[in-house]
């Protein structure tokens, strides 16, 4: 006999409410389960005379009880109950948006397997954000949910509500840090969520940088004993990737406000570190060196890396790439392949992201040590490769890919050899203003335009 509801099999078995959306219900998305989909069998309804009469009597009785109870209450109490009901409904709706649409937007296929956890930290967030131990985290979730909803609907009251919640979360977070309470994964999660809020809608020019850098310092204070179900490690991984972008876009005079890159390489140890994170280990070093580029009048500093460091990092990255290719071959897979139409397809979105960061590392070699890099023959146009991957990931419309592609695209916008490549990268950042990543876009474009003007001024001075 078919099920009496459209709930999926998992929700029916666990006796939990199911919204029966396709292809996956929100509850399965929330807890990281593989949803089998809603049941579509015929619904059998008893419409005999005895059942219909009984239902009418029951409805009339319930209606009478509700009317008597409601009319017996004072007017001010009725008003407060109506307001409270509206607030609860709105909060529930925002939470559903956050744990449904937002979760799908900021997670990607292949990532959970790479970090050796069944679920990412965002999948775990519903469990520990609502445990009542950190009010700032709960407010940060609501603020981020409202900001995300505004990005999708452009409904102004949502952004106004988001800013109020953001301010309250920030105040509570500051109070927790000021009272020197023990740093927990809740504290780190709050900083990371506030940074995601800033990535979507910047409140100040430096807020995103401060939240991400502060989160890195908090991970160091928390220590590995605070890790639960891999959450702290995954937060640390997210922070390291975003700090690479922060290092690239930070002014020379602001570099003292950033956490040291040693924190990003030495704070946590991880059993069988994923290939992508071992690559980021080197990227944090390369992007930290990039901070010194502004000290050189022509924007390129050939002595930032000595021969020994250059060979060591390059050899490690080449070995990582070989390991990455071999691991795919062992599973009977290819990282990418060329289609009959000439386009490049990737195993999944996460693989494309990893390939983009390998290309970024090789581009940084030629930026930081051009004379050393010239001694190695490399006919690959890494800047075009990064642009192609950005176009490929754009079809998925996933925020995590957009955020992480900021580093490769920034390198293209600043250092690509062809003008059309630089213009395409800048155009992508301009498009991000309207897809929910206005904060990241503003930070990148401000740095790009500032350094372009600086380079023009330097050229003018030399011509004189």
User: CA 24 from chain center: how many Å?
Assistant: 21
Confidence class for position 266, pLDDT limits 50, 70, 90: low
The domain segmentation of the chain, as residue ranges, is 1-47, 104-463
The total of other beta-carbon atoms located within 10 Å of residue 359's CB is 23
pLDDT greater than 50 at residue 84: no
The reported pLDDT for the residue numbered 425 is: 96
Tokens 């050189």 belong to residue: 296
The total of other beta-carbon atoms located within 10 Å of residue 380's CB is 9
Q: Tokens in use for 29? A: 């998305």
Phi, psi for residue 338 in degrees, rounded to 5:
-95, 125
Angstrom distance (rounded) from CA 417 to CA 406 = 18
Task: For residue range 428-459, list pLDDT tens digits in order.
Answer: 999 887 777 888 888 899 999 988 887 666 55
Q: Tokens in use for 280? A: 């980021």
- Bridge partners, residue 345, by sequence: 337
Considering the entire predicted model, what is its pTM?
0.73
Confidence class for position 88, pLDDT limits 50, 70, 90: very low
CA count, 13 A, side-chain hemisphere, 365: 25
CATH of domain 1-47: 4.10.240.10
The reported pLDDT for the residue numbered 64 is: 46
Task: For residue range 131-190, list pLDDT tens digits in order.
Answer: 777 889 989 988 888 888 887 778 888 889 999 999 999 999 999 988 877 888 889 989
Angstrom distance (rounded) from CA 52 to CA 179 = 63
Q: Tokens in use for 401? A: 């890919």
The reported pLDDT for the residue numbered 261 is: 64
Average pLDDT for 98-120: 57
CA-based Rg of the chain, rounded to a whole angstrom? 26
Q: Alpha-carbon torsion 4, 5, 8, 12, what sign?
A: negative
Tell whether omega for the bond before 89 is within 30 degrees of 0, i.e. cis: no
How large a percentage of the chain has pLDDT more than 90? 24
Average pLDDT for 372-378: 76
The total of other beta-carbon atoms located within 10 Å of residue 23's CB is 9
- Bridge partners, residue 8, by sequence: 38
pLDDT greater than 90 at residue 31: no
The reported pLDDT for the residue numbered 24 is: 76
- Bridge partners, residue 336, by sequence: 346
Task: For residue range 44-82, list pLDDT tens digits in order.
Answer: 555 566 555 555 555 555 444 334 333 443 444 334 334
Whether 427 contacts 143, CB under 8 Å: no
pLDDT greater than 90 at residue 122: no
Q: Name every residue whose Cβ is closer than 8 Å to that of residue 127 and which is 6 or more positions away in sequence.
A: none
Q: Tokens in use for 228? A: 């639960």
Type and span of the H or E element at 338: strand 336-338
User: CA 376 from chain center: how many Å?
Assistant: 35
pLDDT greater than 90 at residue 317: yes
User: What is the phi-psi region of residue 224: left when phi exceeds 0, alpha when psi lies from -120 to 50, beta otherwise?
Assistant: alpha
* 3-class DSSP assignment, residue 410: helix
Long-range contact pairs involving 150-153 (C-beta distance under 8 Å, separation at least 24) = 150/201, 151/200, 151/201, 151/435, 151/436, 151/438, 152/101, 152/436
Q: Tokens in use for 23? A: 């292809």
Angstrom distance (rounded) from CA 368 to CA 286 = 8
Write the DSSP symbol of residue 100: I
Whether 119 contacts 148, CB under 8 Å: no
**Helices and strands in the chain: count of H runs, count of E runs:** 22, 2
Q: What is the mean pLDDT of the chain?
A: 77
C-alpha to C-alpha distances, 124 to 30, 93, 107, 119, nearest whole angstrom: 8, 19, 12, 7
User: Which has more confidence, 382 or 277?
Assistant: 382
User: Which has more confidence, 245 or 220?
Assistant: 245
* 3-class DSSP assignment, residue 315: helix
Ranges of H-type helices in 15-74:
26-30, 49-71
The reported pLDDT for the residue numbered 389 is: 94
Angstrom distance (rounded) from CA 293 to CA 281 = 20
């Amino acid at each position: 006999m078919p099920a009496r509801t459209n709930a999926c099999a998992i929700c029916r078995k666990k006796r939990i409410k199911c919204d029966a959306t396709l292809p996956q219900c929100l509850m399965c998305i929330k807890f990281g389960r593989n949803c089998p989909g809603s049941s579509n069998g015929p619904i059998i309804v008893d419409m005999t005379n005895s059942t219909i009469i009984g239902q009418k009597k029951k409805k009339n009785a319930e209606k009478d009880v509700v009317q008597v109870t409601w009319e017996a209450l004072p007017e001010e109490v009725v008003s407060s109950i109506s307001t409270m009901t509206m607030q609860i409904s709105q909060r529930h709706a925002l939470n559903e948006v956050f744990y449904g649409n937002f979760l799908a937007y900021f997670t990607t296929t292949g990532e959970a397997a790479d970090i050796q956890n069944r679920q990412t930290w965002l999948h775990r967030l519903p469990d520990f954000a609502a445990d009542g131990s950190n009010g700032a985290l709960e407010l940060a979730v609501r603020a981020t949910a409202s900001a995300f909803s505004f990005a999708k609907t452009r409904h102004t009251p949502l952004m106004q509500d988001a800013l109020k919640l953001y301010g309250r979360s920030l105040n509570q977070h500051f109070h927790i840090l000021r009272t020197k309470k023990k740093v927990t994964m809740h504290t780190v999660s709050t900083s990371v969520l506030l940074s995601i809020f800033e990535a979507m809608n910047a409140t100040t020019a430096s807020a995103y940088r401060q939240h991400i850098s502060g989160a890195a310092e908090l991970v160091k204070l928390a220590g590995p004993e605070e890790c639960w179900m891999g959450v702290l490690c995954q937060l640390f991984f997210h922070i390291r990737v975003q700090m690479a972008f922060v290092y690239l876009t930070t002014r020379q005079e602001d570099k003292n406000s950033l956490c040291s890159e040693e924190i990003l390489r030495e704070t946590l140890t991880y059993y069988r570190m994923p290939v992508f994170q071992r690559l980021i280990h080197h990227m944090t070093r390369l992007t930290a060196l990039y901070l010194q580029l502004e000290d050189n009048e022509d924007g390129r500093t050939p002595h930032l890396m000595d021969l020994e460091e250059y060979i060591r990092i390059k050899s490690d990255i080449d070995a990582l790439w070989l390991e990455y290719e071999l691991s795919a071959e062992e599973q009977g897979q290819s990282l990418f392949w060329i289609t009959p139409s000439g386009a490049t397809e990737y195993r999944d979105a996460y693989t494309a992201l990893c390939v983009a960061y390998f290309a970024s590392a090789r581009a940084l070699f030629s930026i930081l040590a051009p004379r050393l890099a010239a001694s190695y023959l490399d006919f690959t146009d890494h800047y075009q490769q990064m642009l192609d991957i950005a176009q490929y990931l754009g079809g998925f419309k996933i925020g995590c890919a957009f955020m992480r592609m900021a580093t490769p695209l920034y390198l293209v916008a600043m250092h690509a050899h062809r003008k059309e490549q630089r213009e395409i990268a800048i155009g992508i950042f301009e498009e991000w203003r309207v897809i929910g990543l206005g904060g990241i876009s503003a930070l990148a474009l401000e740095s790009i335009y500032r350094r372009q003007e600086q380079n023009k001024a330097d050229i003018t001075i030399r011509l004189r």
